[in-house]
């Protein structure tokens, strides 16, 4: 009988470990993929990219999709100096597939432009500010005139709540085994 109790405890521990892994994956699944451009989701000369960016908050783990005609455009990641000068001479990376996926892996600012002559100067460039997700710790006191921190995206909050509920349900179900 003692071996059955040990087996039940081992099984319960395994289920808790699986639940923890699943909860972590659910939280990571909160990342968002943004298709750059509006209103049709195209990387083109019709979109006001400053306005497009202003309506979104980007976090590490998010992705950008650039969809465009390869014959008409490309996507070049550049430095701030390259962005300001509309120059892709010393680019960080270049994309030319027509359907490019760029991962935003870290906090910081990324700069992209179309490298074809005249396109960047006509507004086909985008600055992406990647900010840390809101922490659960106490907020630092903001000075006068400081802007409020952006709220986390709905998808990341939903994933975190779903993951937490899954762990609680599994733990509640396993308590009678101990």
Q: Do residues 112 and 127 share a domain? A: yes
Q: Do residues 14 and 25 share a domain? A: yes
> What is the per-residue pLDDT across 126-143, written as a single tens digit (0 to 9) for each?
999 999 987 654 444 444
> What is the per-residue pLDDT across 102-128, written as a single tens digit (0 to 9) for each?
999 999 999 999 999 999 999 999 999
Residue 67 lies in a domain: yes
Structure tokens at 27: 């939280």
Structure tokens at 119: 């396109």
Cβ-Cβ contacts under 8 Å for 150 (sequence gap 6 or more):
57, 131, 134
Q: What is the CATH number of the domain that holds 102?
A: 2.60.40.420
Structure tokens at 120: 């960047």
Per-residue model confidence (pLDDT) at position 134: 76
- pLDDT class of 29 with cuts at 50, 70, 90: low
Q: Do residues 97 and 84 share a domain? A: yes
Cβ-Cβ contacts under 8 Å for 137 (sequence gap 6 or more):
none
Token pair 């014959």 is found at 71
> What is the per-residue pLDDT across 57-94, written as a single tens digit (0 to 9) for each?
999 999 999 999 999 999 999 999 999 999 999 999 99
Q: How many domains, the chain? A: 2
Let me know: does 146 contact 23? Beta carbons within 8 Å. no
d(CA 2, CA 26): 36
Q: Do residues 15 and 26 share a domain? A: yes
Q: Do residues 76 and 15 share a domain? A: no
Q: Do residues 66 and 102 share a domain? A: yes
**Rounded alpha-carbon distances, angstroms, from residue 136 to 32, 132, 151, 164:** 20, 12, 12, 14
Q: Do residues 78 and 122 share a domain? A: yes
Tell me the residue range of the domain where 172 lies: 1-30+155-178
On whether the pTM is more than 0.75, the answer is: no
Residue 9 lies in a domain: yes
- DSSP-derived 3-state class of residue 133: coil
The alpha helices in the chain, defined as continuous H runs, are: 2-28, 49-54, 80-85, 154-174
Q: Do residues 26 and 86 share a domain? A: no
């Amino acid at each position: 009988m003692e071996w059955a109790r040990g087996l039940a405890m081992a099984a319960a521990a395994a289920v808790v470990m699986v639940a923890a892994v699943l909860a972590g994956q659910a939280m990571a699944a909160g990342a968002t993929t943004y298709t750059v451009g509006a209103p049709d989701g195209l990387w083109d000369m019709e979109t006001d990219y400053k306005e497009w960016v202003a309506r979104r908050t980007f976090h590490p783990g998010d992705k950008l999709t650039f969809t465009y005609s390869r014959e008409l455009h490309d996507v070049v990641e550049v430095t701030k100096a390259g962005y300001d000068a509309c120059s892709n001479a010393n680019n960080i990376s270049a994309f030319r597939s027509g359907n490019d996926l760029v991962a935003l892996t870290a906090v910081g600012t990324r700069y992209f432009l179309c490298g074809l002559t005249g396109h960047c100067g006509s507004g086909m460039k985008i600055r992406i500010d990647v900010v840390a997700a809101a922490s659960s710790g106490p907020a630092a006191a903001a000075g006068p005139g400081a802007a409020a921190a952006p709220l986390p995206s709905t998808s990341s909050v939903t994933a975190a709540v779903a993951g937490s509920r899954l762990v609680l349900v599994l733990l509640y179900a396993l308590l009678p085994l101990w």
